[in-house]
Structure 1
Amino acid sequence: MSEKPTYDFPDGPKWPAWLSTWRFLRNRYKYVPPLHEKYGDTFLMRILPGPRKLVVFSDPADIKEIFASDPSQFHAGEGNMILKPVMGPHSVLVTDDAEHQRARKLLMPAFTGPSMRAYQPLVEAIAKIEVDSWRDGDKLLTLDRMNAVTLDVILQVVFGVTDEERLAVLRPKVNRMVNIEAKMLLAWSYPRLFALPPWRGYFKNQKAVDDILYAEIAERRQAHDLEGRDDVLSRLLRVGDETDEAPLSDAEMRDQLVTLLLAGHETTASALSWTLHELGRHPEILAKALEAADNGDDAYLEACLKEGMRIHPIIDFVARTLQSDQVVCGRLLRKGTTVTPSIMLSHSREANFADSHRFDPERFLVGKIAPNTWIPFGGGVRRCIGAAFSLMEGTVVLREVLQRYSVEAPAVAPNKLRNITNVPGDKAPVKLTARVS
């Protein structure tokens, strides 16, 4: 008779799982850092449904080990399964193993360097149209306005929809789909909720968006000018011809497009909103950013964006669910355990970033950021494929804003957890001051 393995779970709070889940979903910024302070770089949480065990890590060496681990035994898709009712079963975020590898291989060509250069002029044009509508002295709710910009970028650059009539139909429906509350994600664990309000209304709207997307995909497949189109949808329709993989089906295409929409819309908008807020709170750094915008110094503007994403992580953790008993960072953990590199704790760790609560874009220009310390896009084979696109988009929008306006933030913005993203709770208002050209 074989001996029963002795598992080595770290210490953690002894609260009931329902209370831990409620606090985790309500405000992770108030919940997680005190646990780190009490239990150290590695600690245990129990989260519903299940309850399942989450082992949280924040030391760079541990994070490196997890990112480098065998993806067949460390499933990221399973850790993201709560997103499946919205993103769909084929989403690159919720699949693992061969299905994930195939999807990633087909998606990657749309996010290479040449593709980025092709998208940039359209991002610039969309940002310019938005900033043209602003006026000197306006009080700007940056989260709302950045959401408007990044939504149009997704619709035009990713979906390839440029017709104003179609955009007018899509915008409100997509906005409702994007404005998902955390409780909507409970439909993964409790499918009966689909029939009840507000879930029923949300998923009815999602079906309407799906119908539009499927019609767009069908129409695009018949387009005679597909080779000349630069949008992501057209590239994805062509990419099957350029690889040995079967092309994406309509259902797979829908799921990847919705994933790009949900993963690349509010995340980038929130990063821009937080960055403008921090610039509005730090006049001396703002002065350097204004000069960088005038001189085309995109490196400094990107550094501002990266520092905004560091000090205000939009997504605050990464999840990998173990498919077998595994020794993780020196601990034997049971199959089914979810190991969780904490983006929030990594970004605020003094050993990683001196004076970690200070907004300082120079960190990303002087010296080198240590590996596995700045991880807003995750890491390893599951690193976000849209990382380069997000940074390009954010830098372009910052440049367009700062070439024409200075910003001033009246107060420190509170953090609010909305669905799975951290956004400014007051939408990060700033006062605009037109610059003299």
Structure 2
Amino acid sequence: MTFRTARLSEICDINPKIPKSLDDSALASFLPMAAVSEEGRIAFEEERTVAEVKKGYTYFERGDVLVAKITPCFENGKASRTFSLSKPFGFGSTEFHVLRVANDVLPDFLFYKIWNSSFRELGAQNMTGSAGQKRVPADFLKRLEIRLPPLEEQRRIAAILDKADALRRKRKSALDLLENTKNSFVEFALRKASSGKTEALGEYLDFITSGGRNWSKYYSPEGSRFIRSLDVQMNSISHEDPVYVAAPENAEARRTRTHKGDVLLTVTGSRIGRVAELPADLIGSYVSQHVAILRPTLAKLRPKFLSFFLSSREGQRQIQKWQYGQTKPGLNFKQIEGFLIPKISVNQQVRFEEIAERFEGSLSVQRDHCRRLTSLFSSLQSRAFSGQL
């Protein structure tokens, strides 16, 4: 199906001005950046008088489409329709672009056009400004060309994407509920088993280290597995796009070679806090500088229990509390050794693992369903805007 092509500036008013007729005493909806979720929804709204916000904030009206302009909010997908606003107009963060459609464009259709990975990748490539303060300029939006089908076709496409997105959200809600149930049960079970007693993790470790730097020079088509931070998932190690090394015969290689019973923890960057027991098929592998090896005293601490605990809500709370650095967070060995873990027997740890594994099995099924629905949604978006839906 062939659609006509139009620039966004031809079918939208981009960042429209505030009407001069607004009454200063009138109540307006107010949306800080946090109010717009990465799931394409308005999570909450506040209420302000026009006088409070008419200067220094972005104006919009019910029915407009909002999209974040600043990094990393833009790349993370912060955008939303505004039909749910309680007031007919509102104000929000200056880091929003506002799109107000003309009569031949549906807001729902436009929203899905700008709320997808392809648009975000293109927008990120056209950002201006310095690192940490990069923004998508209004000129990029004005020049952006889109295929514009007739209104009825826009309505059909938006309805299909609404249904697919609703299914995806419903499955994610079920996953979140199960995750919360697991966390609550785990916390209750551990408190009961330990009577609230804890001990520093360092008392249960025989060894702790992290990988060496600049191991890319050892990359090889075959050899020993090299585990990077992106390979460490919560309670599992990914085998997607694996890297191998021809490890040297030196002290660093001997120090960073993994053993049976090791637990791997990511200690720097955006993926900090991912943790997994080393599986048997990866014994003898090596780790990057962003991954720590925790080697528990097996007579006192089971690796699987340690992994499950550090991945729990309480474990993650401690990781978030003790990490240092803002632009590139990290954990040092002293902080890791200071984590407080429940003081319970090895037999109690085994029973805890059995419960946690049952939850993880159900969560794994739910996560797989979520991935499938997200993939379906992305595929439908791609087909919709290429005239193939």
State the TM bucket, normalised to the shorter chain. under 0.3
More contact order relative to length (CA 8 Å, sep ≥ 6): 1
Q: Report which of the two has the higher share of strand.
A: 2
Q: Report which of the two has the higher share of helix.
A: 1
TM-score (norm 2): 0.23
TM-score (norm 1): 0.21
